[in-house]
Amino acid sequence: MSIRTVRRRPTHAGLTLVELLIATTLTLMLVAAVTQAFQVVGTSIAVNRATVEMVGELRSVGVRLQNDLEGLTVAARPWPEAASGQGYIEYEEGWAHDGWLFPGNLGGTPTPGVTHYGDADDVLMFTSRTRDAPFVGVYQVRTGPLAGTLAALGSTLVEVVWWATLTDVDRDGSPNPNTLENETYVLLRRALLIRPDLNTLVEPAFDRRYFAVFPPPSSSLTWYTRTSQTHLRELRGLIKSFVAQNDLSVRLERQNNPGSPNQVRIYVVCNSLDDLTKPENRFAHSPIIRVAASSTTTPPTLEYVPQAFPFRIDHDDARDSVTRLPSTRLAFSTPAADEPGMIKSGDQQGEDVLLDRVLAFDVRAYDPLAFVGAHPGRDGVWGSPGDDDSSGTADDIGEAGWPRTDDELVTPGDPGFSALPTDASLISLSSTGRAVLPVSRGAYVDLAYTLKWIRDDTGDHSYNLRDGLAGTSYPNPLAPPGTSPADVPAGFPPAYYSHFSGMPQSPAAGFGTGLPRYDTWTFHYERDGLNQDRDAFVNSAGTLVPLIDEGTDGFDLTSWVNSTGNTQTANPSRGVDDVGERETAPPYPVPLRGLQVKIRLFDPATRQIRQITVVSDFTPR
């Protein structure tokens, strides 16, 4: 027998180079896939977390604003009596609006294509009453063993102010879309407790009860000289310090020295609801000291500011004042943005901040006569393509808004309103010959919305396209019923289309200048013994005699000479002490039926934008 020996080939315990390369490649692909998956999951988590946080922040702020508005103490209509104890509501409309990047001045050129920034220069002020726990703030004790210390204080009544201010990094006066992460707005709320019972100090010589006085008792001065820079700087510093440390609704009453008219003393008096019906007693309406416009020195030259009717909200555009509201022209985060009277200083500086990274704080009033138009939508035809209503004509006006079409209703301020189509069968509503379909009326609008402009592909057009409509084609809603065009007050624009379409009335108060505002106003000025409209009548001797409170004097005024020297005549059919005889008038003498407030928030990490809309209805029930 023969034996065969089988020789086995040697085996290798390992991988070849090719196998190693394949394994490494597969491992790297797996790691890349896992990394990508983690990145997607991480991004999703970050986005979702940011969304939850933004929605939570907006909801919290929205609830606070809604609660403030639900506690409104005044019936939202003009002419409350000062003694009625109702308080006020005031809303000031800035010139910015959605779709127009505000360039920092009233006459600048709109920047098309910038849509994330919105209307953020509005101011909302009113008195509110809490239904639950009282509002809480701090104040500086003035008397007793704790004098000079801060103590907590509560009140069921509050004067509340909502506004936004720009973090202006490049200090050019307007938001810059190229630095969106840095240049956003800060939303603030100042709540000032209404506590007239704190007026415990008495000045017998002037029959006045007050909370504090400047110069203070500890000062070597008794009066401030109006022309003394040293005195003005001391007074300015004291007022700034007081407003920063006290959450109180106060007014600053001036007392001239009977023996020296150039000297003044300032009494700090806590307001009541009665007091706050008068604009001059409200926060940021009566500046006392400001930087002189011609000042080029350091420290700047200050000047004393007399009280001036009609007591508008005091802004800080070019000159400083001690009870001003901040404009959007100053940065919130820089020392130059010293906001005395609105933003607290020192340890309490951040207490008024509700939100940062804000892109819009847009307040709008409900106008029952505001125009609502129909837009044909993306397909460019009324209804759906074809003869929807079997009228024999395809896509005619009668098919506008037909069910299940892309036709849309748009109101002033909506995208597409300035580009509504022209149709010969419609009434032309603009000076450019364009026309829109009048579907209905009633919308939330900016005050003086006809004066706002927006740019579209066809050129510059009015915010609401009603600038060319003849005044006689639509009745003036603010004129008394049955009156002729001659009875329309001279301050009205020639074509007034709805309650808030144009600028306010402009009697001697000068409402036609500055920013438009809604104000419940007060009847106090018709009985205060002052001649606000600076008019007069000619007596039998041919002498001009000032007319004082002619709207409540019991006489039927027939003719008078106004502040510009022109003779005016009244309509005798209106009777004694009619509306036309009154010295003043609210900016918009119509009820405010509702407010809409939009707050837009930006998250720079995830580039998300979220918005909340708060609506409050003031319609009487």
Residue 273's pLDDT is what?
96
Pick the more confident residue, 452 or 443.
443
Neighbours of 32 (CB within 10 A): 10
pLDDT digits (tens, 9 = 90+) for 115-170: 788 888 899 999 999 988 899 999 999 877 888 888 999 999 999 999 888 877 77
Bridge partners of 619, per DSSP, are: none
CA distances, 491 to each of 14, 512, 578 (Å)? 98, 7, 18
Q: Comparing 195-199, 387-391, 419-423, 424-428, which segment has the lowest mean pLDDT?
A: 424-428
pLDDT digits (tens, 9 = 90+) for 463-474: 544 433 333 333
Q: How confident is the model at residue 200 (pLDDT cuts 50, 70, 90)?
A: very high
Q: How confident is the model at residue 68 (pLDDT cuts 50, 70, 90)?
A: very high
DSSP SS3 for 594: strand
Residue 538's pLDDT is what?
83
Whether the pLDDT of residue 493 is over 70: the answer is no
- What CA–CA distance (Å, rounded) separates 485 from 512? 19
Classify residue 471 as exposed, middle or buried by CB count within 10 Å of its CB (0-12, 13-18, 19+).
middle
pLDDT digits (tens, 9 = 90+) for 298-346: 888 888 988 888 888 876 544 444 444 444 333 333 333 333 344 455 5
Contact 312, 280 (CB under 8 A): no
Contact 608, 47 (CB under 8 A): yes
Residue 188's pLDDT is what?
87
Whether the pLDDT of residue 216 is over 70: the answer is yes
Q: ∠595-601-604 over CA atoms, to 5°?
A: 170
Neighbours of 209 (CB within 10 A): 14
Whether the pLDDT of residue 98 is over 80: the answer is no
Residue 97 corresponds to which amino acid? H
Which one, of 12, 522, 568, 91, lies nearest residue 277 by Cα?
Answer: 522
Structure tokens at 135: 């509002």
DSSP per-residue codes, 223-242: SEETT-HHHHHHHHHHHHHH
Which one, of 303, 344, 307, 295, lies nearest residue 138 by Cα?
Answer: 344
Average pLDDT (510-522) is 79
Average pLDDT (422-435) is 39
406-432 burial, b for 16+ CB within 10 Å, e for fewer? ebeebbbbbeebbebbebeebebbbeb
Please give the sequence-ordered ranges of beta strands (E in DSSP) within 41-193, or none if there are none.
89-92, 123-129, 135-140, 150-155, 157-166, 185-193
Q: What are the residue boundaries of the structural domains of the chain, listed by start? A: 70-362+594-617, 376-473
pLDDT digits (tens, 9 = 90+) for 360-414: 999 999 999 887 777 777 777 777 777 676 777 766 666 776 777 777 788 887 7
- What CA–CA distance (Å, rounded) separates 374 from 574? 41
- Length of the chain as a residue count: 621
Residue 6 corresponds to which amino acid? V
Cβ partners under 8 Å of residue 589, min gap 6: 78, 79, 478, 505
Tokens 């999951």 label which residue? 41
Q: CA quadruple 409, 412, 414, 416: dihedral positive or negative?
A: positive
Chain-wide mean pLDDT for the chain? Answer: 77
pTM as predicted: 0.83
Cβ partners under 8 Å of residue 57, min gap 6: 355, 601
Cβ partners under 8 Å of residue 601, min gap 6: 54, 57, 58, 355, 357, 358, 359, 609, 610, 611
Whether the pLDDT of residue 508 is over 70: the answer is no
Residue 500 corresponds to which amino acid? F
Q: How confident is the model at residue 279 (pLDDT cuts 50, 70, 90)?
A: very high
- What CA–CA distance (Å, rounded) separates 107 from 118? 18
Eight-class DSSP state of 144? S
Residue 556's pLDDT is what?
83
- What CA–CA distance (Å, rounded) separates 84 from 86? 6
